[in-house]
Amino acid sequence: MRRFLIENGGESLLGTIKIAVLPIAKVFTMCFLGFLMASKYVNILPASGRKLLNGLVFSLLLPCLIFSQLGQAVTLQKMIEWWFIPINVICGTIAGSLIGLVVATIIRPPYPFFKFTVIHVGIGNIGNVPLVLLTALCRDQNNPFGDVDTCTKQGTAYISFGQWVGAIVLYTYVFQMLAPPPEGTFDLDEQHLPIKGCPKDGSPEQVPLLTQEVLSSDLNASKQGKIKDFLVYMYDKLKIKQILQPPIIASILALAIGAIPFLKKLIFTPNAPLFFFTDSLIILGEAMIPCILLALGGNLVDGPGSSKLGLRTTTAIIFGRLVLVPPAGIGIVLLADKLGFLPPDDKMFRFVLLLQHSMPTSVLSGAIANLRGCGRESAAVLFWVHIFAIFSMAGWIVLYLHILF
């Protein structure tokens, strides 16, 4: 750290800007290559190929990265010390949603996109994008967080530790908020008939969860049958299957194994009998960053598409997410630091907490929106918010480094 401050000296601002902008430039370069590969002039990465690549990243490469990095870094003592990371995710969701509520109240988005606006302002990407940025930052030899391996391992562990909370928020709170309006669809121009009950051929994802009730078909059903019906209802209401996605399972396994010293030494310690398995996962996990950036860049080739939100609402969502939410996050982290909730002298810990508040809208919220019938509008918002996030994230990273160092 002293080397970082001495070398920059009078040019500390310029050095900070360089360290903040270079990771963004690397991300932009890889996304542009993905965009080029998916363009009609090259067409090596068509829509079907991007879908397969996204599935590979989500189902294999990202879980491998999380399991290998989080498992090596975590211990039972560190889990106790890191308790504020999931709290930070929850606080960020609450603060972002309140800001989204204010924004939606002021601009009055077209019906029925009020809650949609709140969610796309309030829910940020706390997984993939922070991992990409942190990895790019740590690869710079002049980064202020130490050597490359330590920087990458600590940062990945901190980010991964908060992902399970983000998944629960997405598949409970976001799923509920993006429920279709009483008319039963977001495409009100096409269908005007209200839907009073559940559609006969509709999937469970298309029906608001709050309207689902488990009714006994037989009033004289046995107690065992009622308990079974209740468990099925709770399983469906809590969306446990959707919450337990591969990255979350990898996080849970890494935390469980890392908390048991015997298993940690058996699997995560170099020269251990089973370290070959961990090393294989490390190799696979290293492919996650380039693959997800190529897929993200390729997805931008289709453009924002058509949207019913309008320019005013889209601009307000981008401004709220990228400009208004980060200052609230700075306040949350600085208050927690002042109250002694954060590990002392751990700059990386604080940087990750701050980074979680300055990310663009979560890509997974777009997946939820697609399930709920408003995927077209969500795709348009995600397109523009990621374009402008390239510039906003560089600015916020400069400020964060200035605050920390």
Range of the domain at 141: 13-181+240-404
Q: Give CA–CA dist 405/400, Å, rounded.
A: 8
* Residue 203 maps to a domain: no
At residue 104 the predicted structure's pLDDT band, cuts being 50, 70 and 90, is very high
Query: What ranges in 339-374 are assigned the alpha helix state H?
Result: 347-356, 363-372
- Name the pLDDT band for 351 (thresholds 50, 70, 90): very high
Q: What is the model's pLDDT at position 128?
A: 75
CA neighbor of 359 nearest in space, from 165, 96, 82, 136? 96
Instruction: Write down the pLDDT at residue 214.
Output: 45
Which residues, other chains included, contact 182 with Cβ-Cβ below 8 Å and sequence gap of 6+? 194, 195
Give residue 151's pLDDT.
87
Enter the tokens of residue 329.
């996050």
**Tokens at 282, concatenated:** 């490390």
Q: Residue 331's pLDDT is what?
A: 96
Could you tell me if residue 225 is inside a domain? no
Average pLDDT of the residues in 278-298: 86
The pLDDT score that the predictor gives to residue 242 is: 64
3-state helix, strand, coil in the chain (%, to 5): 75, 0, 25
Residue 200, domain member (yes or no): no
Residue 233 lies in a domain: no
Cα-based distances in Å from 331 to 241, 325, 334, 338, 400: 35, 10, 5, 10, 12
Q: What pLDDT, in 10s, does the model give residues 14-50?
A: 666 777 777 777 778 888 898 899 888 888 888 888 8
Q: Phi/psi class of residue 109: alpha, beta or left (left: φ > 0; alpha: ψ in -120 to 50)?
A: beta
Sign of CA pseudo-dihedral 94, 99, 103, 105: positive
Q: What is the pLDDT of residue 307?
A: 66
* Whether the bond into 112 is cis, omega within 30 of 0: yes
Tens digit of each residue's pLDDT (9 = 90 or more) over 164-204: 788 778 877 888 888 888 877 776 654 444 444 444 444 44
Query: How far is 347 from 281, CA to CA, in rounded Å?
Result: 28
How far apart CA 158 and CA 161 sit, in angstroms, is: 5
Distance from C-alpha of 240 to C-alpha of 234, rounded to nearest angstrom: 9
Residue 218: inside a domain: no
What CATH number does the domain containing 268 carry?
Answer: 1.20.1530
- Report how far residue 164's alpha carbon sits from residue 247's, in angstroms, rounded to the nearest whole number: 8
Q: How many CA atoms lie within 13 A of 349 on its CB side?
A: 20
255-267 average pLDDT score:
90
Give me the pLDDT at residue 117, please: 93
What six digits make up the tokens of 12?
């500390």
pLDDT in tens, 326-346: 999 999 999 999 999 999 888
Note whether 363 and 62 are within 8 A (CB).
no
Residue 211, in any domain of the structure: no
- Structure-token match 């009078």, residue found: 10
CA 393 – CA 272 distance, rounded (Å)? 40
Structural domains in the chain (count): 1
CB 104 within 8 A of CB 365: no
Judge whether 186 lies within some domain: no
* 74 has a pLDDT exceeding 50: yes
The two three-digit tokens of residue 180, written as one number: 């279709």
List the one residue out of 138, 142, 119 whose CA is nearest residue 8: 142
In a domain, residue 213? The reply is no
Say if residue 46 is preceded by a cis peptide, omega within 30 of 0: no
Token pair for 30: 């890889």
* Region of poorest pLDDT, from 52-61, 174-183, 215-224, 378-387: 215-224
